[in-house]
Structure 1
Amino acid sequence: MNVFITVMLIVNGCAFVFDFIFSLYLSFSKKIRQEKYYGSSRNFTTLLLLIPAMNEFATLKRDLPYLVKLHNQCKNFINLELVFIDDDSSDGTTELLDKWSHHANLHVIHRVKPNAQIGKGPALEYTVNQIIQMNYSLGKTLIGIIDADSHFDSDYLREVVATFQNSFYDLVQTRVDVYNTVDNLTIMQNFEFSIYNALLQMARTNWGSALASGNGQFVTLKMAKNVGWSSSLLEDCEFSLKGLLKGYYGTFLNTVSVKQEGVSNLRKLIRQRTRWCQGGLQCLKIYGGAIMKAKHLQTIVKTFIIFFLMVPYLSIIVVPSSIISVSVLIFYAFYRPLIGLAIIFTLLFTENLVNTLMIEKQWHESNLEPPKNRLIIFRIIFSFAFYRWVLAFIPYRAIIRQLKGNDSWVKTAHS
């Protein structure tokens, strides 16, 4: 028993040290920064904005007038066309989109069962195939993927287009922020997306390629055609991996963001993250070997991708080791209060320090205005520790689903 506890303490200690060093790397490395784009002069004339719209009646009824006006706001730098993907909606979305379909530069793609409602990937693949048949220029057309509940404007799209025009990338992933930060759950998601994921995406870009990350992803029509989407539960990651294997690379645009609605219901958040986690397991199984064998990919890119996809399996060991370590530390504090409390304080201080450093780094890189009340940082940091514990058991749920062969897709419900 003592040997087992010792091993668990060592495992947790290694995980803590790795997390600490990696956080410091993200915070202080001069290579983790917003990339500057130059050396290319491509000319893209059309941006097709794909908006999945399964049962989005309330959202679209509110936002359609604004979205339609975007065309005129963008016409001095790109021809913007909206493509709504109605995936056999049952809440009035189909009828609403049909009423707006007479507008120029607005297209509606209707899908019906049994081919509908089987995942975002198949819906995107079907839509892109329809677009290709419309004879858009592969070399001058961009594809954007934006969730129906997103908030963005013409300045956001201008920066995206400029990034493509002035670089050689075929994929641009923009920063994602959460706009409904009304409670700790949504505030934690905003920290996760706009701070940690943003720094991680800049690191990925420096290592060789950023990965598509759901909302706010843009690709050339050429890449969309040659790579394509499949039925993985993590379709954005799968698309990125397939793209890398075919020689397509991505960058991360940190200076602008698309704002989306956070999930305010814990049960629905767990369901969403389980789907994402299981999708990563699917990608590891299908593409892990090919990624490792790809001669054109840098070793650091391969290492990160495999490590990222293996996190659920690593969690099987790290999560129980963390529980055992916390239990041992609390038990030890009862017998040696001064030493025990000193260790607890040191660990908490370290955790808070690295998170504060990451927040400060991201504010600097993204030109975000820090909050007037800096005490909100402490609220975020303390809450994030509990948030990570709440989500710690998701890998177990994902692995169990995977072992059972349950790969059903369920759309994220935000409230």
Structure 2
Amino acid sequence: MEVDKVKILFVISVIFYILYILQVLFLLVNHSKHYKCEKRKINIVSRYCLWIVIPALNEESVIGDTVVSLRNEIDKLNPNITGHILVVDDQSNDDTFAIVQSKKEIVIQTTSDIAHTGKGSVLNFATSFVEQHKSEAAENIILIIDADGRISSVDIETAIFDFQENPGLGMVQSAVKMININNALEIAQDVEFCGMNRKAQITRDNLGDGIASGNGQFVSLDMAKNVGWGNALLEDMEFTLKGWIKGYTSIFNDHVIVRQQAVSSMYKYIRQRIRWCTGGLQCFKYLGDLYRSKYIQIGLKIDLTIDMVIPFLYIFVNIINIYVLYRQIYTLFTYHSVDYTLMSLLFIWIVITFLATISYQRYINWYFKNRENPKMHLSIWRAFINTLYYFVVNVITFFIPIVSLYKIMVGELKWDKTEH
């Protein structure tokens, strides 16, 4: 009976993995936007006013270098783009405000009624400031950058060109790459953003719209004002969904790259991901409006539904895998034999890892060739090891959706800031 139970669980797990392999294969072949965008000639002829908005709470360790880096890039921009840096200090208790002032950049401070209530409140506060000081002679674009973010003038112009080529466009989401990739956890995050998340974004883009993701959003002032950010712990996803429901369109462009610091400790990583997962659960309430919306393609609706449900499937499958592993070890030591189930699951897992490796390796090698060091090359073996880190971290942190669901149920929804 025990063996039959293990085999039933094994079949369920295999079905899930086969669906996941199909999903990964779909992501790998769905890359037309990447190559199409590479052939464009960027030529900004319209007038734009760019507001680089940096939400900041106790960021004295990084904010100075960030504003200096961004100012250097602004100075290189096409003459038709006027750039401003706007740091919104969320009532920090360190020297964040003073450091930005010393760099001669615009810095404002949130009012006491919205202080420390989340990134969404800070962005709405920034939008009000931009509206009051906007350029009447140009189209105003807000670029949201984290306090540790870096972006080049070339990438800024590439995103602005998307607005020029698509009148009425609401948002352009950049790709994200990690700056520090020194340990397994940091490498796993680089694989996550440059590999799986990027391909998922390209797929969504091909289905009709890109989705805001963490850092590097270029948003039209019109969309920022008329949609606004809510209080969800995943404020960027909530903003996107509300925008789609209102008919705004968005683009994902993986030739626009924002670089940021990876979270270096597992404790901080888990805290960050619990907030993200909890925020994603909060966005479930928009599914009804999304399905009723005439602006959103059915493929995108299905993709978003799967995206919201899949973390809970991961819980189930990982519990099955742990149980199957336990039964295999028990069988080995008790009956001195090994069933096929564990080896089969291990083989499927390696296949998935290799499929994800291909996407990651291609993008990183393109990145080195065009951005940093043309002589650098990431081997398929090194890329496989890096991708393996990503999947191992996912297995280790399978419990995160459970914690997030608990937080939703008890109403524990306080904003938990990622520490840089």
User: TM > 0.5 between the two?
Assistant: yes
- The structural deviation recorded for 1:353 is 2.5
Contact 1:70 1:80 in 2 (8 A): no
Q: Structure 1's 135 and 24: CA in aligned 2 closer, same or farther, altered over 3 A?
A: closer
Q: Distance in 1 between matches of 2:407 and 2:331?
A: 37
Query: Map of 1:1-400 to 2, 5 A cutoff?
Result: 5-29=6-30, 31=32, 33-36=34-37, 43-100=46-103, 103=104, 106-137=105-136, 140-168=139-167, 169-284=169-284, 286-331=285-330, 335-337=336-338, 339=340, 343=344, 346-363=347-364, 371-400=377-406
Greater Cα offset, 11-20 or 349-358: 349-358
Structure 1 residue identity aligned to 2:11: I
Q: Any idea what SS the aligned residue of 1:83 has? A: strand
Structure 2 residue identity aligned to 1:209: D
Q: Distance in 1 between matches of 2:76 and 2:32?
A: 35
TM value normalised by structure 2: 0.88
- The structural deviation recorded for 1:255 is 1.7
Q: Distance in 2 between matches of 1:406 and 1:349?
A: 38
- The structural deviation recorded for 1:343 is 2.8
Contact 1:333 1:341 in 2 (8 A): no
Q: Any idea what SS the aligned residue of 2:210 has? A: coil
Q: Distance in 1 between matches of 2:396 and 2:339?
A: 29
Structure 1 residue identity aligned to 2:414: S
- The structural deviation recorded for 1:385 is 2.7
TM value normalised by structure 1: 0.89
Structure 2 residue identity aligned to 1:94: F
- The structural deviation recorded for 1:172 is 0.6
Other-structure match for 2:414: 408
Structure 1 residue identity aligned to 2:251: T
Q: Structure 1's 46 and 384: CA in aligned 2 closer, same or farther, altered over 3 A?
A: same
Q: CA RMSD in A?
A: 2.7
- The structural deviation recorded for 1:307 is 1.7
Residue ranges of structure 1 left out of the alignment (5+ in a row): none
- The structural deviation recorded for 1:35 is 4.8
Structure 1 residue identity aligned to 2:290: I
Q: Structure 1's 88 and 345: CA in aligned 2 closer, same or farther, altered over 3 A?
A: closer
Q: Structure 1's 275 and 34: CA in aligned 2 closer, same or farther, altered over 3 A?
A: farther
Greater Cα offset, 170-179 or 306-315: 306-315
